[in-house]
Amino acid sequence: MELSPTAYVILGMLSWSPKSGYDIKGLVDHTTRFFWAASYGQIYPELRRLAEAGLIEAKDTDTGGRRRTVYGLTPGGRAQLREWLAGDPEVFELRDEGLLRLFFAGAAPATAPSTLDAKRRHHETVIAQLREIEAAGKPEGFAEIVLRYGIEMNEWAVEWCERAGAELEAPAKGKGGR
Amino acid sequence: MELSPTAYVILGMLSWSPKSGYDIKGLVDHTTRFFWAASYGQIYPELRRLAEAGLIEAKDTDTGGRRRTVYGLTPGGRAQLREWLAGDPEVFELRDEGLLRLFFAGAAPATAPSTLDAKRRHHETVIAQLREIEAAGKPEGFAEIVLRYGIEMNEWAVEWCERAGAELEAPAKGKGGR
DNA sequence: ATAAACATGTAACATGTTACATGATTAT
DNA sequence: ATAATCATGTAACATGTTACATGTTTAT
């Protein structure tokens, strides 16, 4: 069976412990969002599909009035997750509008420093968010490794923006930039 | 007027010189693809929209039998591009299936080293492609800066994969004990 | 009371990929 | 002749976001 990577986000989350769609969305927003986001519009329909495929199972635990459907992995779902983990990753996509603007900055060179600045600020914001997650959740094992990746990659990007910004200022060939 | 970033890819390409849809696709594949991809299915309809909006202009140059529509920026299109360049970048998205697999590797820990290895190989492949572009096109100015970003970022990622791989192999000390 | 958080879901929209259809020109 | 490249375009499909609709429970 061919599943989307987003389906594996769900399977992976449920491999830790049973969860509701709401739980999954909350976890995604605090963990994988930086390298794999997912919205309710994806999660709820996907939960239904996975349940129909027998990879997850609903344990309708409505605690009184508030309806809440908690799903758990079936043995088949766990096998599917492990099979996916054993394969090679295929998707790697980056969409960086800052880089795009910088690339075309020749049409308005004066805008380059502020583009670089905005990009740097973006990465700094992400670092702050990741550090918060780090402090709050004290992740361990693979989650911690991946979180460190996020922090270090964004730190690298901040440094690059600073270096590139300095380079832009350096060749001041009497053009009267600024 | 609200344009998609992909529309600005076209406007940016045309700001250098007039081009056909085919030209644009070829250039995208050799330049922006690493941080902003575009397919024919996006480019041709977008060219039509931009022409209808008066931001670009077709100069129907059919060289004999082979039909070829070359577009150039109008003054309005150039203004639109410059306006966009002056704003702050908004989109930054990463989709890294390798990181996702690593994140969930707890369900099959033995798969982690090969995931890391595949991710490293991916980044090495990209570096090789970017170096080829660098050697072939001798980019200058902002294009060169952005190309260097691509190479350096992927080098950083390769190093990270090596470091993380070494950590995985190292006996689990430092945690708990100590 | 009322705001925030919990909880599920759908519909409309936007974006993007792939395969297909068509045909001309150039290099081998 | 035939493969590669040039060249344009569409249709079907896949993916993903946003806004909306609905209602409960908990904290202030």
How near does any CA of chain A get to the CA of B64, in Å?
33
Task: Please state, rounded to an integer, the average pLDDT across all residues of chain A.
Answer: 92
B67, closest nucleotide (Cα–C1'): D7
Query: Closest to A105 (Cβ–Cβ): which among B85, B95, B107?
Result: B85
Q: Is A127's pLDDT higher than 60?
A: yes
Asked whether residue B20, judged by its CB, lies under 7 Å from any atom of the DNA or RNA strand D, the reply is: yes
Burial class (CB in 10 A: 0-12, 13-18, 19+), A19: buried
DSSP string, chain A: ----HHHHHHHHHHHHS-B-HHHHHHHHHHTGGGT----HHHHHHHHHHHHHTTSEEEEE--BTTB--EEEEE-HHHHHHHHHHHHS----EEEEEHHHHHHHTGGGSGGGHHHHHHHHHHHHHHHHHHHHHHHHHH---HHHHHHHHHHHHHHHHHHHHHHHHHHHHHS---SS---
Q: What is the pLDDT of residue B62?
A: 65
Q: What is the pLDDT of residue B136?
A: 85
Q: Which chain C positions have some atom within 7 A of a protein CB? A: 6-12, 14-20, 23-25
Q: Answer whether A146 sits within 8 Å of B102, measured CB to CB.
A: yes
How near does any CA of chain A get to the CA of B17, in Å?
12
Q: Tens digits of per-residue pLDDT, B65-123?
A: 788 999 999 999 999 999 999 999 889 999 999 999 999 999 999 999 999 999 999 99
Averaged pLDDT, B127-132: 94
User: How far does the CA of B53 sit from the C1' of D21, in Å?
Assistant: 36
Q: Tens digits of per-residue pLDDT, A144-166?
A: 999 999 999 999 999 999 999 99
Q: Answer whether B35 sits within 8 Å of A141, measured CB to CB.
A: no
Structure confidence at residue A178 as a pLDDT band (50, 70, 90): very low
Q: Residue A18: phi, psi to the nearest 5?
A: -60, 145
Q: Domain map of chain A by residue range?
A: 5-86, 97-169
- What percent of chain A has pLDDT above 70? 94
Structure confidence at residue A59 as a pLDDT band (50, 70, 90): confident
Q: Tens digits of per-residue pLDDT, B136-157?
A: 878 889 999 999 999 999 999 9
Q: How far apart are CA A58 and CA A49, in angstroms?
A: 12
Q: Tens digits of per-residue pLDDT, A95-118?
A: 999 999 999 999 999 999 999 999
Greater confidence (B67 vs B1) lies with B67
Mutation pick from B4, B10, B88, B123 vs chain A, by most beta carbons of A within 10 Å, is B88
Q: Is B12's pLDDT higher than 80?
A: yes
Lowest mean pLDDT among B13-27, B86-100, B142-156, B163-177: B163-177
B143: left (phi over 0), alpha (psi -120 to 50) or beta: alpha
- The secondary structure element, H or E, covering residue B136 is helix B112-137
Q: Is A91's pLDDT higher than 80?
A: yes
Number of inter-chain CB pairs under 8 A, A vs B: 195
Asked whether residue A39, judged by its CB, lies under 7 Å from any atom of the DNA or RNA strand D, the reply is: yes
Task: Please state, rounded to an integer, the average pLDDT across all residues of chain B.
Answer: 92
Q: What is the pLDDT of residue B17?
A: 96
Q: How far apart are CA A8 and CA A87, in angstroms?
A: 13
Asked whether residue A59, judged by its CB, lies under 7 Å from any atom of the DNA or RNA strand C, the reply is: no
Q: Answer whether A89 sits within 8 Å of B97, measured CB to CB.
A: yes
At the top level of CATH, the class of B5-86 is mainly alpha
Q: Is A9's pLDDT higher than 50?
A: yes
Asked whether residue B64, judged by its CB, lies under 7 Å from any atom of the DNA or RNA strand D, the reply is: no
Mutation pick from A30, A55, A96 vs chain B, by most beta carbons of B within 10 Å, is A96
Query: Can you tell me whether residue B126 is helix, strand or coil?
Result: helix
User: How far does the CA of B7 sit from the C1' of C21, in Å?
Assistant: 26
Q: Is B176's pLDDT higher than 60?
A: no
Structure confidence at residue B45 as a pLDDT band (50, 70, 90): very high
Q: What is the pLDDT of residue B1?
A: 75
Q: What is the pLDDT of residue A177?
A: 44
